[in-house]
Amino acid sequence: MDGVGETPFTVRNSAVGARISGPVVQAGQIRDLTVYGQTVAPPAAAPAFPVPRQLPSTPSHLIGREKDLACLEHELGSEVGVGDVTVVVTGPAGVGKTVLAVHWLRRHADLFPDGQFYADLRAHAVGGPVDPAEVLGGFLRALGVAPAPRDTAEAAALWRSLSAGRRIGVLLDNAATAEQVRLLLPGSGHAVVVVTSRRRLTRLGLGGAAFHEVGPLSRGAAVRLLAQGVGSGRVDRESAAAVLVVERCGRLPLAVCLAAARIAARPAQPLAVTAEALGLESRRLEMLDVGGEGVRHALDASFEALGAGAARLYRLLGLLPFPVVTPDIVCEVGGLDPATAEPLLDELADIHLLEETDGGFRLHGLVKLHARAHADAIHDRAEGQAAVDRVLDRYLASATAAEALLSPSHRTLRRDYATEQGHREGEFADESAALEWLEAETERLADAVRWAAATGRAATAWQLVDAMWPAFLRLRPAALWIELHRIGRTAARSVGHRGGELRMLTSGGAGLRNAGASEEAAEWYAEALHLARAAGDPLAEADALYGLSQTHRTAGRLAQAADCLRTAADLREACGYLRGTALARLALGDLRVADGRPAEAVPVIADAYRDLAAVRAVYEAARALAFLGQAQAALGANDEAGRCYAEALARFRASRSRHWEARVLRLLADLARDRGDLTEAAARQRESESLYAALSARTGDRRADAAALDAPVLPLPPAKPPAAD
pLDDT at position 522 is 95
Confidence band, pLDDT 50/70/90 cuts, at residue 525: very high
pLDDT at position 697 is 66
pLDDT at 501 over 60: yes
How many CB atoms are closer than 10 A to CB 523? Answer: 15
pLDDT at position 187 is 82
Q: What is the mean pLDDT of the chain?
A: 86
Chain segment 563-615, per-residue pLDDT in tens: 999 999 999 999 999 999 999 999 999 999 999 999 999 999 999 999 999 99
How many degrees, rounded to 5, is the angle at CA 358 between CA 353 and CA 359? 90
Cα–Cα distance for residue pair 47/28, rounded to 1 Å: 19
Confidence band, pLDDT 50/70/90 cuts, at residue 709: very low
pLDDT at 191 over 70: yes
Chain segment 413-441, per-residue pLDDT in tens: 999 999 887 666 678 998 889 999 999 99
Highest mean pLDDT among 31-35, 353-357, 531-535: 531-535
pLDDT at position 193 is 95
Calculate what percentage of the chain has a pLDDT beyond 90: 70
pLDDT at position 701 is 44
Cα–Cα distance for residue pair 266/537, rounded to 1 Å: 64
Chain segment 385-403, per-residue pLDDT in tens: 999 999 999 999 999 999 9
pLDDT at 713 over 50: no
Chain segment 298-316, per-residue pLDDT in tens: 899 899 989 999 999 999 9
Cα–Cα distance for residue pair 612/275, rounded to 1 Å: 55
Q: Average pLDDT of 682-709?
A: 67
11-33 in b/e form (b: 16+ CB < 10 A) is: beeeeeeeeeeeebebeeeeeee
Q: Average pLDDT of 681-690?
A: 93
Preceding peptide of 149 cis, ω within 30°: no
Calculate what percentage of the chain has a pLDDT beyond 70: 87
pLDDT at 6 over 60: no
Comparing 76-80, 202-206, 360-364, 705-709, which segment has the lowest mean pLDDT? Answer: 705-709
Question: In order of start, what are the domains of the chain with their CATH numbers?
Answer: 4-40 (no CATH), 66-213 (3.40.50.300), 219-290 (no CATH), 297-378 (1.10.10.10), 391-709 (1.25.40.10)
Paired strand residues for 38: 35
pLDDT at position 292 is 67
pLDDT at 486 over 70: yes
pLDDT at 382 over 90: no
pLDDT at position 553 is 92
Cα–Cα distance for residue pair 79/495, rounded to 1 Å: 73
The per-residue DSSP string of 135-149 comes to HHHHHHHHTT--SPP
pLDDT at position 359 is 78
- Give whole-number Cα distances, 303 to 89, 195, 198, 297, in Å: 20, 21, 11, 10
pTM (two decimals): 0.75
Confidence band, pLDDT 50/70/90 cuts, at residue 41: low
Preceding peptide of 470 cis, ω within 30°: no
Cα–Cα distance for residue pair 385/333, rounded to 1 Å: 10
Rg of the chain in Å (alpha carbons): 36
